[in-house]
């Protein structure tokens, strides 16, 4: 199949509406647009640089935690949640009641992402793995009654108040198993010669076109991208997440997905996707460079703390994992007294490592602002 000759699918008459049946994608794809070949080369180079850099970052897994939090926050924001990165990094006890629903949705995404990446060590990227991630995503939040972990058994739609005025009506639920099976086969088919980034670009579009769940399709579809890159060892570490790029260019994201269906323009979607890979990989490298620079600067600063310097160094490493803390967190983590913890916090405020967030006299929350700012 030449990308320029792709036909996205057909509309199938149902009772009082027409659903869209996507064309299956498990076939050989020929890149017949020169600009795609150029972008693909740039994207592969950008990913190669990110991989090379991540291999030389000490304790890179520490910094991955904030990348996952950022991904979860931005992917959930596309769907309407209002949690900020700084809030997502807090313990639940520090979240005000009116924001806890959104906070829980972001935490579920974080857990779904982490669990899925661990599952890749024993399971292939598959329908089963995606359904398990969906079950985690929907647990105890809005959408918990919409068949968590199971494909839908009824018609859904996007936009509009009903099927009559919907912007998009995905395929009838009876088509889902066949379409997902085709998608899964495409992801693993080694008898066809399709570059990985082209393959996952097409797969993401197809997943969103199928819309197999009653809720959470966007988040699982974006999760699929990172899981594919990790499972195929294109990424050495899970450091690339496209939701920030998609959220920043939200209208273009949806327009380009819709344009595949409305104009059979798969090439434009792939161009947008590859541009996102390039932008996100370059940003990830830049962020890692800034993290290393910040770590070095802070470790030099704390040398002035004398006998407190060893403890201060340990606290700094803790802050790279948990950049939103309270005095109680420091006491519990390092088994130190309250006066010692308060003294360390005061020193960290003095040398501009911590910033007090609440303005309260009691129950204060402190943030590692310079670090958090790298992810905004």
Q: Tens digit of pLDDT per residue, the chain (376 long)?
A: 999 999 999 999 999 899 999 999 999 999 999 999 999 999 999 999 999 988 888 788 888 889 999 999 999 999 888 899 999 998 888 898 999 999 999 999 999 999 999 999 999 999 999 999 999 999 999 888 999 999 999 999 999 899 999 999 999 999 999 999 999 999 999 999 999 999 999 999 999 999 999 999 999 999 999 999 999 999 988 999 999 999 999 999 999 999 999 999 999 999 999 999 999 999 999 999 999 999 999 999 998 889 999 999 999 999 999 999 999 999 999 999 999 999 999 999 999 999 998 888 888 999 999 999 999 8
Whether 106 and 11 map to the same domain: the answer is yes
Whether 271 and 364 map to the same domain: the answer is no
Q: Name the burial class of residue 23, with classes exposed (0-12), middle (13-18) and buried (19+) by CB atoms within 10 angstroms of its CB.
A: middle
User: What phi-psi label fits residue 189: left (phi over 0), alpha (psi between -120 and 50 degrees) or beta?
Assistant: beta
3-class SS at 87?
Answer: helix
Q: Provide the residue range defining the domain that includes 205.
A: 3-287
Residue 292 placed within a domain: no
**Number of C-beta neighbours around residue 304 at 10 A:** 11
Whether 194 and 303 map to the same domain: the answer is no
Q: How many structural domains compose the chain?
A: 2
Of the candidates 142, 148, 51, 143, the one whose C-alpha atom is nearest the C-alpha of residue 102 is 142
Could you give the CA distance from residue 236 to residue 177 in angstroms, rounded to a whole number?
32
Among 232, 267, 287, which residue terminates a domain? 287
- Tell the residue number behind the tokens 């994608």, with chain if given: 25
Give me the CATH number covering residue 101.
1.10.3290.10
The predicted model scores a pTM of 0.94
Whether 16 and 99 map to the same domain: the answer is yes
Whether 251 and 335 map to the same domain: the answer is no
Give me the CATH number covering residue 331.
1.10.10.10
Identify whether the C-beta of residue 21 lies closer than 8 Å to the C-beta of residue 185. no
Whether 89 and 109 map to the same domain: the answer is yes
Among 259, 287, 315, which residue terminates a domain? 287
């Amino acid at each position: 199949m030449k990308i320029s000759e792709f036909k996205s699918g057909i509309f199938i008459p149902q009772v009082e509406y027409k659903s869209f049946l996507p064309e299956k994608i498990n076939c050989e794809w020929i890149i017949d647009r020169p600009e795609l070949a150029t972008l693909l080369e740039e994207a592969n180079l950008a990913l190669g640089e990110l991989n090379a850099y991540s291999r030389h970052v000490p304790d890179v897994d520490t910094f991955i935690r904030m990348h996952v939090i950022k991904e979860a926050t931005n992917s959930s924001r596309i769907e309407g949640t209002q949690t900020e990165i700084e809030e997502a990094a807090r313990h639940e006890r520090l979240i005000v009641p009116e924001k806890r629903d959104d906070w829980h949705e972001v935490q579920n995404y974080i857990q779904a992402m982490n669990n899925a990446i661990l599952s890749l060590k024993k399971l292939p990227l598959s329908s089963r793995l995606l359904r398990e991630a969906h079950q985690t995503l929907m647990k105890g939040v809005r959408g918990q009654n919409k068949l968590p972990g199971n494909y839908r058994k009824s018609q859904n739609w996007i936009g509009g108040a009903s099927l009559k005025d919907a912007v998009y009506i995905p395929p009838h639920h009876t088509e889902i198993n066949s379409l997902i099976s085709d998608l899964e086969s495409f992801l693993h088919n080694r008898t066809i010669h399709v570059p990985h980034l082209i393959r996952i670009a097409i797969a993401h579009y197809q997943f969103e076109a199928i819309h197999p769940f009653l809720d959470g399709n966007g988040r699982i579809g974006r999760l699929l991208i990172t899981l594919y890159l990790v499972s195929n060892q294109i990424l050495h570490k899970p450091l690339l997440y496209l939701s920030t790029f998609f959220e920043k260019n939200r209208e273009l994201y949806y327009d380009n997905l819709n344009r595949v269906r409305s104009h059979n323009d798969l090439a434009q979607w792939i161009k947008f996707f590859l541009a996102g890979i390039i932008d996100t990989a370059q940003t990830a490298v830049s962020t890692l460079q800034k993290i290393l620079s910040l770590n070095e600067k802070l470790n030099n600063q704390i040398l002035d703390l004398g006998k407190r310097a060893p403890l201060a160094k340990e606290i700094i490493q803790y802050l790279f994992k948990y950049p939103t803390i309270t005095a109680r967190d420091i006491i519990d983590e390092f088994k130190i007294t309250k006066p010692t913890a308060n003294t360390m916090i005061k020193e960290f405020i003095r040398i501009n490592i911590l910033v007090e967030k609440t303005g309260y006299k009691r129950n204060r929350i402190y943030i590692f602002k310079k670090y958090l700012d790298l992810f905004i």
